[in-house]
Chains A and B, each alone.
Chain A
Amino acid sequence: MALQSLDIARRSATTTEAPQVRHTEEVAKLIDVSACIGCKACQAACMEWNDIRPEVGHNVGIYDNPQDLDDKTWTLMRFTEVEEHGKLEWLIRKDGCMHCADPGCLKACPSPGAIIQYANGIVDFHQENCIGCGYCVTGCPFNVPRISKTDSKAYKCSLCSDRVAVGQAPACAKACPTGAIKFGAKEDMVHYAEDRIVDLKERGYRNAGLYDPQGVGGTHVMYVLHHADRPSLYAGLPDNPQISPMVSLWKGIAKPLAMVALGATALGSLFHYVMKGPNEVSKELEDEMDKEAALEKEDAK
């Protein structure tokens, strides 16, 4: 049972309507990449608030640490060095769940209530309902969910749904020393981003813009990018993310199609039997064999 402040809008593997009478404001986290200094305070705050402690890794010559998201690393600073107009640019992107309006993970999940989307836009994994199949990994266009090697459950950023439920900002936003992570109503975040984009354009970043990809219906984690025309510069942020057509096929038309085909085969068989009757061995053949048997018996005598 969700908290009242966390009305559920969508629930995995559920075909009936979600409660939707009450109106809740959509929230969003805005990550201003241009204001990020790569201090990793957000990573530390995430670990602290969520009680997750990834293993201490090794330095492999880049700043990314750990190397990748995992069951205990729900957010990760990804560092990219690119040359733009003969100048080195150090692009630092805080990676993690984007909280899609149309979440591929939720669409793919076969277990009722293992993935839910709150009316405020947060997509949350409920591990107690997770069966560990990994379908969410297949469904995600951002390569975010991770299956734990410890308990085989899927984990990812919850946008601190527990904090948001009581009116607090996510731990990462709270910890950010430069204000690069903002949290609030999605509408307000979009307005705030517009101001930032105007500022960046004045400073020469002509292609500055907001990353709120419509291919997944928009996201509840958005980026302000200096190079919004090329999101993939930022450690492979997808340019046009969308749920894979394979996943849509599998979780879309395949389901009703297969059910109708199998139902028709089963019912067709039953009614065929009822209307045409069984395919019996003919009486003539039975008699013929009886005669044969009798003759053999005679011969034996």
Chain B
Amino acid sequence: MIRNPRDLQRYTASERANHWVLGICFILLGLSGLAFFHPAFFPLVNLFGGGTWARILHPWIGVIMALFFLVMFIRFARLNLMGPVDWDWLSKVGKMVDGDDHDMPEQGKYNGGQKLLFWGLALSMLLLAASGVVMWRAWFSFPVEVVRVAMVVHAATGAFMIGLIFVHVYAAIWTRGTIRAMLYGTVTRAWAKQHHRGWYRQVTGKN
């Protein structure tokens, strides 16, 4: 494939790699976590070499994810600070989901929905990592009352985060021309102008 030189760079190679590490960790953690959460999903442990292996691996994958999420957080936190225009965007999101994005306020690199998702994921990661440590019996020993609370927090937050990622993935599929940003980093100018006009102006210097 010949790439169009006029395409705009949205993510660097290192940012993309960072995101993919998180994506892989998330899938592995989600599958093994669901297996521990509900009997219907227990057979998923076979993807990891059985129940005991899934139990051994899950926390270590969690550690990797937490570390890479921290790097990602530092990279993107500033870009995701919410402003009045983001709340305005969010208040009109229903119309956009319904298929009409003509009235949406102009957005920078990220829109209000993406920013909200970013903070939702950050909060989830914080809660999952903290409660995960408490539950990690191979290395830690906390009072049973604390472990019980951690179990509930970990399960609820895990389910919440899986839901957020469903939304994240679907939004990328639904908004055509987005997946390529995650794969090789560029988007078309038309895509940028339609979805992130503020960012388009900033990187092209055009109107």
Q: What residues of chain A lie closer than 8 Å to B189, measured between beta carbons?
A: 289, 292
Q: Which of B15-23, B64-72, B79-87, B145-153 lies at the interface? A: B145-153
- A13 at interface (Cβ–Cβ under 8 A)? yes
Q: Which of A35-43, A173-181, A252-260 lies at the interface? A: A252-260
Chain B residues 6 to 38 lying within 8 A of chain A, measured CB to CB, are 6, 35-38
Q: What residues of chain B lie closer than 8 Å to A296, measured between beta carbons?
A: 6
- Min CB distance A236 to B, Å, is 13
Q: What residues of chain B lie closer than 8 Å to A246, measured between beta carbons?
A: 148-149, 151-152
Chain B residues 150 to 171 lying within 8 A of chain A, measured CB to CB, are 151-152, 155-156, 159, 162-163, 166-167, 170
Q: Per a CB cutoff under 8 Å, which of B56, B156, B159, B166 touches A269? A: B166
Residue ranges of A at the interface with B (Cβ–Cβ < 8 Å) = 13-15, 110-112, 129, 131-135, 137-138, 143, 147, 152, 244, 246-247, 249-250, 254-255, 258-259, 261-262, 265-266, 269, 272-273, 276-282, 285-286, 288-289, 292-293, 296
**28 A-B pairs with C-beta separation under 8 A:** A13-B39, A14-B39, A110-B36, A110-B37, A112-B42, A132-B55, A132-B56, A138-B148, A152-B138, A244-B145, A246-B151, A246-B152, A249-B152, A250-B155, A258-B155, A259-B38, A259-B40, A262-B163, A262-B166, A269-B167, A269-B174, A272-B170, A273-B173, A276-B99, A277-B99, A278-B174, A281-B177, A293-B6
- Distance between Cα atoms of A120 and B61 in the complex (Å): 42
Report if A13-B166 is in contact (Cβ < 8 Å); known contacts: A132-B55, A285-B194: no
Q: How many residues of B contact A (CB 8 A)?
A: 50
- Which secondary structure characterizes the binding site on chain B? helix
B147 touches A138 (CB 8 A): yes
- Give the number of residue pairs across the A-B interface with Cβ within 8 Å: 128
B36 touches A247 (CB 8 A): no
Q: What residues of chain A lie closer than 8 Å to B35, measured between beta carbons?
A: 110
Report if A281-B148 is in contact (Cβ < 8 Å); known contacts: A147-B137, A152-B138: no
- Distance between Cα atoms of A209 and B6 in the complex (Å): 86
Q: What residues of chain B lie closer than 8 Å to A133, measured between beta carbons?
A: 36, 55, 137
Residue ranges of B at the interface with A (Cβ–Cβ < 8 Å) = 6, 35-40, 42, 45, 50-52, 54-56, 96-99, 101, 135, 137-138, 144-145, 147-149, 151-152, 155-156, 159, 162-163, 166-167, 170, 173-177, 188-191, 193-195
- Distance between Cα atoms of A52 and B82 in the complex (Å): 61
Q: A143-B144, A265-B166, A286-B190 are in contact. List 19 more A-B contacts (CB 8 A).
A: A110-B35, A129-B51, A131-B45, A131-B54, A131-B55, A133-B55, A134-B137, A246-B148, A254-B155, A258-B37, A258-B155, A269-B174, A272-B174, A276-B98, A278-B175, A281-B195, A285-B193, A289-B193, A296-B6
A247 touches B99 (CB 8 A): no
